[in-house]
């Protein structure tokens, strides 16, 4: 199985400051169709996960542009340009290229 | 608006069975792969199974192969997860999720607890 490794696992941030989460996969996530199926999710306390980013850098509808995704191959990053109170929660990366699709351990962001 | 409503969770003894259901609305159900993803404190998020739009292709994570069966009824806009021979390590919140590779939209989840 593809192992997804996130860092850091805990991310204390100051309001208004940027934040960055790294995600590395144990093998390339480039699919035979040319797409790279790397997604980012936010899970607020007591809620279901919500997808923020799909295929590395595409923001989902309704996701603020302060969230951005980048990377290629095996190295990926989620950035939040200015952290707000509503961003508190756990962030997960997930690969959808190789079955079984797998998630990172999660990064807990708090203020 | 996409809505996914899971049901069927509960407390079951080891070796027992449960059938989870997911009622979908707000999108063309028959045009999407569907997935079940579970979340437990010990193992985080795990993709358990997925099923193609017409039900002709199914995938399972190794730990549930031979015990769980995913199915769908496009006429009822529903997807199911039949879980047999349940083990303590199957204890988790089970989410119904649209698509497979993208895990686009999630239900609120249903809790399955396997314990004697």
The number of beta carbons lying within 10 Å of the beta carbon of residue B17 is 12
Region B84-98: mean pLDDT is 97
A106: which chain B residues are within 8 Å (Cβ-Cβ)? 44-45
Please write down the HEC assignment for all residues of chain A. CCCEEEECCEEECCCCCCEEEEEEECCCCECCCCCECEEEEEECCCCCCEEEEECCCEECCCCCCCEEEEEECCEEEEEECCCCHHHCEEEEEEECCCCCCEECCCEEEEC
- Say whether pLDDT at B42 is over 90: no
A70 CA: distance to closest CA in chain B (Å): 16
Token digits of residue A34: 């040319």
Q: What is the pLDDT of residue A34?
A: 95
- pLDDT tier for residue B100 given thresholds of 50, 70 and 90: confident
The secondary structure of residue B38, as a DSSP letter, is E
- What is the number of other CB atoms lying within 10 angstroms of the CB of residue A111? 12
What is the spatial distance between Cα B72 and Cα B34, in angstroms, rounded to a whole number? Answer: 9
Looking at chain A, which residue has its C-alpha nearest residue B108?
A48
DSSP element (H, E) containing B37: strand B34-40
Q: What percent of chain B has pLDDT over 70?
A: 100
The Cα A107–Cα B104 span in angstroms is 20
Residues B102, A51: C-beta atoms closer than 8 Å = yes
Q: How confident is the model at residue B68 (pLDDT cuts 50, 70, 90)?
A: very high
- pLDDT tens-digit profile of A53-74? 999 999 999 999 999 999 999 9
pLDDT at B98: 94
pLDDT of residue A98: 96
Q: Tell me which chain A residues have a C-beta less than 8 angstroms from the C-beta of B107.
A: 48
Kindly list the distances between the CA atom of residue B114 and the CA atoms of B36, B40, B49, B62, B82, in Å, as whole numbers in the listed order.
18, 12, 19, 19, 14
- Least confident interval from A65-69, A82-86, B39-43, B94-98: B39-43
**Measured between CB atoms, which of B62, B102, B108 is closest to A39?**
B102
Q: What secondary structure does DSSP assign to B43-111, as a single string?
A: TEEEEEEEE-TTSS-EEE-GGGTTTEEEEEETTTTEEEEEE-S--GGG-EEEEEEE-SSS---B---EE
- Contact call for A100 and B59, based on CB within 8 A: yes
Confidence band (pLDDT; 50, 70, 90) for B41? confident
Cα torsion A66, A94, A38, A58: sign: negative
Chain A: give the shortest CA distance to residue B106, in Å.
7
- pLDDT surpasses 90 at B28: yes
Per-residue pLDDT tens digits for B1-19: 999 999 999 999 999 999 9
The shortest CB-CB distance from A48 to any of B61, B62, B107 is to B107
- Profile chain A (111 residues) by mean pLDDT over runs of 10 residues: 97 96 98 96 96 97 96 97 95 97 96 89
Neighbour count for residue A10 (Cβ, 10 Å):
11
Closest-CA distance of chain B to residue A30, Å: 12
Mean pLDDT on B77-85: 98
pLDDT for res B43: 74
Contact (CB, 8 A) for A8 and A110: no
What residues in B contact A101, CB-CB < 8 Å?
A: 47, 100-101, 103
- The chain-wide mean pLDDT, for chain B, equals 96
Question: Does residue B54 register a pLDDT over 90?
Answer: yes
Question: So what's the pLDDT on residue B99?
Answer: 87
- Beta-carbon contacts of residue A56 (< 8 Å; ≥ 6 apart): A36, A38, A69, A70, A71, A72, A76
* Contacts with A50 from chain B: Cβ below 8 Å: 106
Chain B, 28 to 57: residues with Cβ < 8 Å from chain A are 44-47
pLDDT of residue A80: 97
> Cβ contacts (< 8 Å) between B63 and chain A: which residues?
none
């Amino acid at each position: 199985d593809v192992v997804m490794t996130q860092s850091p696992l805990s991310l204390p941030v100051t309001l208004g400051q940027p934040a960055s989460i790294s995600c590395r996969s144990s093998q390339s996530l480039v699919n035979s169709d040319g797409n790279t199926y790397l997604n980012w999710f936010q899970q607020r306390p007591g809620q279901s996960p919500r997808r923020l980013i799909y295929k590395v850098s595409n923001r989902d509808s309704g996701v603020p542009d302060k969230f951005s995704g980048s990377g290629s191959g095996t190295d990926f990053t989620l950035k939040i340009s200015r952290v707000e109170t509503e961003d508190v929660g756990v962030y997960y990366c997930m690969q959808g290229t190789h079955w079984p699709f797998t998630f990172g351990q999660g990064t807990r962001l708090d203020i | 608006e996409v809505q996914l409503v899971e049901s069927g969770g509960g407390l079951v003894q080891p070796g027992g069975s449960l059938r989870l259901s997911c009622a979908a609305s707000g999108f063309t159900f028959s045009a999407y792969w569907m997935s079940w993803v579970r979340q437990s404190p010990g193992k985080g998020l795990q993709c358990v199974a997925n099923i193609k739009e017409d039900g002709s292709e199914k995938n399972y994570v190794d730990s549930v192969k031979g015990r769980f069966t995913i199915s769908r009824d496009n006429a009822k806009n529903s997807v199911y997860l039949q879980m047999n021979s349940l083990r303590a390590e199957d204890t988790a919140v089970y989410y119904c999720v649209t698509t497979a590779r993208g895990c686009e939209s999630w239900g609120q989840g249903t809790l399955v607890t396997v314990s004697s």
